[in-house]
Amino acid sequence: MGEELNRLPEDGAGGPQLSWGRRTTRFLREVLETILPAILIALLINVFIGQATRVEGQSMEPNLHTDQRLVVEKLSYRFHGPQRFDVVVLKLPQQGEELLIKRVVGLPGETVEIRNGIVHINGQPLEEPFLDVQTRPGRDNHVVVPPLHVYVLGDNRDHSNDSRSFGPVPIENIVGRAWFSYWPAENIGFVD
């Protein structure tokens, strides 16, 4: 009989019934063990690997459209610099918090010149098969891209605030490369 008094009542699942406080503590511990690591992993991914962003404006039409959703990957530029024709997301101090999306056309050390609506790199015309119209000249029609900078243009050249206005962009101002479009559904795919 003394043995029966020392046993705890069962909770119906074969184990002893826990007090409300112990159940709450166990639940909070399980939540912290599950949710906290998930939040930390999500933050690390967002800071170092990739993030979602939305296209605003018409500067990249017809290739990217207003309200199109993209994944921006941040990892590759830790191993190599931007490549010609990469579509990049950048943040410029003079633009405030607004992110810009542009295409890299000029690399460090290259001379970028726009003549008769055609971009020339080191004196040679640049083939740009993704364009629908020619490029209008900007403020600086002849620029040598400094080290650790790139020259960027929007695909919709008549409606783009780009390096023709604000000059070459420091590579450190590039958030990442536009990698994948996930919305709207008809635009799902890799960004060219």
CATH for 64: 2.10.109.10
Residue 63 covered by a domain: yes
Indicate if 74 belongs to the active site.
no
Q: Which of 59, 160, 163, 181 is catalytic?
A: 59
Residue 41 covered by a domain: no
Residue 72 covered by a domain: yes
Torsion of CA 23, 28, 32, 38, to 10 degrees: 90
Question: Mind listing the pLDDT tens digit for each residue in 30-50?
Answer: 877 788 777 776 666 666 677
Domain range for 113 is: 50-190
Instruction: Using alpha carbons, list the distances in angstroms from residue 26 to 16, 19, 21.
Output: 14, 11, 9
Question: Mind listing the pLDDT tens digit for each residue in 130-152?
Answer: 887 767 666 557 899 999 999 99
Residue 125 covered by a domain: yes
Residue 36 covered by a domain: no
Residue 32 covered by a domain: no
Q: Which of 19, 74, 76, 102 is catalytic?
A: 102
The one-letter amino acid code at 7 reads: R
**Number of separate domains in the chain:** 1
Residues 6+ apart with CB under 8 A from 189: 180, 181
Please indicate whether residue 192 or residue 135 has the higher confidence score (pLDDT). Answer: 192
Residue 39 covered by a domain: no
Portion of the chain with pLDDT greater than 90, in percent = 43
Class of residue 116 by CB neighbours under 10 A (exposed 0-12, middle 13-18, buried 19+): exposed
Residue 16 covered by a domain: no
Q: Using the predicted structure, report yes or no on whether residue 73 has a pLDDT greater than 90.
A: yes
Radius of gyration for the chain, computed over Cα atoms and rounded to the nearest angstrom: 27
Indicate if 102 belongs to the active site.
yes
